[in-house]
Structure 1
């Protein structure tokens, strides 16, 4: 790309600012991350070799509360990416109305090339390096791309060792046996499902006649595919990093998930099998999946999947961003001109951080909720905020993305301005 991911992310802020009146000081604060940390993590490999990995953590804004955001393990992790994701998390927490600011972290690594013991040493080493930067009242990490409950458990345990006290609230997305919340692993998909159902109901699209393609068959994408399948939607295509499978009559999603689970081994950290190995389906590339003639397209993999290069080829009527930043700003303009309704990531995938908030509350209080209670609270929150953003979009004639940013900006600006601005202090 000619510009950085962060510069592209900032264009969404600039567009939203045209539709809301807030103080210049609030705008200035939101253009810069509060703190950024780059660390080196030396890891002794099983072979005896020492290898150093580069890690990052960014706290973008904590005006509304301690910062919150996932940790991803991926070869392409960079400070620019982590800063952009922290920016999006800031707006996501504000849009969904939970009292957190935004943060993000990551390590530049191919986790599938590491053994389980190497992965544990890397995870604990990362916490050793950033322990002074995080904390239950400061910054609370969570899972993201290629991290999971096991890894979060290692991180929580390492922080507890360093702080010399059991600290479950420092990390969310942990195993339930050590303070994790019921419903956390399915929260992103469940939240996305509630948003999709709300929008499809509003547009009078019945599940039985609504076709769906999902790019990304990881935790969020696979669970969402299952939820949509069970609700009667026709999921015609899914993909993972190796490619896609497509059946215009609809895929048997339970069979696809069962195949993937059966081939990864009961103790594996990552699945090593591809959905592409399933027979009797048409094989596609990930790029081809994005241009299928379907009603609903769900990018649930990585950022920058729909760009200036392929936006004209998108045929879906609705795009629900389960991944962070899968549609860049240049593509947004093309999709809007072509009548495609893009429902933004800061709303669609906010179920994960919402249930992370529930987990944090449970850790702090020592009182734990039932799965039914958690899902009910999540549904109420997702549907209420979706309704407000839809109403704002209609009231101001905005896209849903811009409406979501305006919705978040109002809350962020109110918190910043509550601490005093030039206008307040200049009064005699």
Structure 2
């Protein structure tokens, strides 16, 4: 077995987390061996006609980790660094996320190796539709339901839904989630990840005796989830003292005005150069700034054994998937820093995706207030369950949350006779 310090790749990290939870639960080795790898995974290579008349070949993946509890569910990312190992790890985390929130889904994930910032809208549409055609035999409303992820959005989901519907010969709004409202999307979907995350922050700070009013928050990653989390935290009385994106990090001790900062990023494309703020250098050191609440909302592996000893937050809420490496997890736990793990903290997105899927099946739209109320209820229940297991077992929240999830998947496998 690899040492904690050697666990850096996302799949190795996900497998370690599974093995640690399974050992505590006493799950048979053959079941652990089954869950270490995905049920099925496909890699596709496909051509896309570019605007200049040339043709480029792209590679994409769709991985289903487990469908023991229901059809696969998971996002689709367009990113130049996508790998099958990364997608497999993300699919496994989706399995645990859905099980922890007690949603009737398994875990899946997909990705295409590309840089969407270098593609025109027409090229992006042709890529999205062709990838949808390539994976159509593996996905569908009762098999695997894609959703937006890194560098994909409601436009991409709309194109994919249209492609699946045309191939199926009938409207299939339930074939994807994260769609525009005009195509059967759900109210509250765009803010769901951040809203769910802040709900877990409220639950954690209440149990830790940490007042939210005046608490300093640092957000690494100022995309959709990070920006909305900043808004919600500011509404609760927190001071958002620093944020970062892929280009820069900026901070201000008395708090950044979130709406003005969002407008600045929309206008310029980055938080860099925001008036009245100081630049944080290097940008990755933002996680080490003094604060009560740290929200890593970028990509995997940003909290390591090197910077974990310098993290000053009392609470870390993982908006990103896999931002904390296992060696860093141990250090933070030993230092008394509470970490709300990704499979719990950022599960608001898949929870509202579930709501959207149900609305698509029913052809009945819920009001935004209904979505928000049901999301908050799911998040509170999942947090309370994980917190109770952590206290009972004397472990950290990540291990406890994974134990809850793995035990539910194991139960499903047993009842299926596997």
TM range (shorter): over 0.9
Checking the alignment, whether the CA contact within 8 Å between 1:149 and 1:174 is kept in structure 2 is yes
SS at match of 1:208: coil
Residue 26 (structure 1) shift: 2.8
Q: Which moved more, 1:396-405 or 1:38-47?
A: 38-47
* Correspondence 1:180-329 to 2 at 5 A: 180-261=185-266, 263=267, 273-284=269-280, 285-329=282-326
* Correspondence 1:45-194 to 2 at 5 A: 45-194=50-199
Q: CA offsets, 1:316-351, max 9 Å, x none?
A: 111111000001112111222222211100000000
Q: Does 1:29 align with 2:25?
A: no
Q: CA offsets, 1:236-270, max 9 Å, x none?
A: 01111001110011111111112223x1xxxxxxx
Counterpart Cα distance in 2 of 1:309 and 1:55: 33
Counterpart Cα distance in 1 of 2:416 and 2:166: 36
Match of 2:3 in 1: none
What do you get for the CA RMSD once the two structures are aligned? Answer: 1.3
Residue 159 (structure 1) shift: 1.0
Counterpart Cα distance in 1 of 2:246 and 2:386: 32
Counterpart Cα distance in 1 of 2:340 and 2:72: 24
Checking the alignment, whether the CA contact within 8 Å between 2:75 and 2:108 is kept in structure 1 is yes
> TM-score under structure 1 normalisation?
0.94
Residue 4 (structure 1) shift: 3.2
198 and 3 in structure 1: CA distance in 2 versus 1, 3 angstrom threshold: closer
Checking the alignment, whether the CA contact within 8 Å between 1:58 and 1:103 is kept in structure 2 is yes
SS at match of 2:331: helix
Match of 1:336 in 2: 333
Could you list the runs of 5+ residues in structure 1 that have no partner in the other structure? 264-271, 422-428
Q: Does 1:355 align with 2:352?
A: yes
Q: Does 1:396 align with 2:393?
A: yes
Q: CA offsets, 1:148-200, max 9 Å, x none?
A: 11111011111111122111111000001011011111100110010001111
2 and 201 in structure 1: CA distance in 2 versus 1, 3 angstrom threshold: closer
Checking the alignment, whether the CA contact within 8 Å between 1:9 and 1:329 is kept in structure 2 is no
Counterpart Cα distance in 1 of 2:7 and 2:352: 36
SS at match of 1:276: coil
Counterpart Cα distance in 2 of 1:165 and 1:333: 51
Checking the alignment, whether the CA contact within 8 Å between 1:26 and 1:417 is kept in structure 2 is no
Residue 312 (structure 1) shift: 2.0
Counterpart Cα distance in 1 of 2:212 and 2:314: 14
Residue 407 (structure 1) shift: 0.7
Residue 2 (structure 1) shift: 7.0
SS at match of 1:254: helix
Counterpart Cα distance in 2 of 1:318 and 1:420: 41
Checking the alignment, whether the CA contact within 8 Å between 1:6 and 1:81 is kept in structure 2 is yes
Q: CA offsets, 1:136-158, max 9 Å, x none?
A: 00000000011111111011111
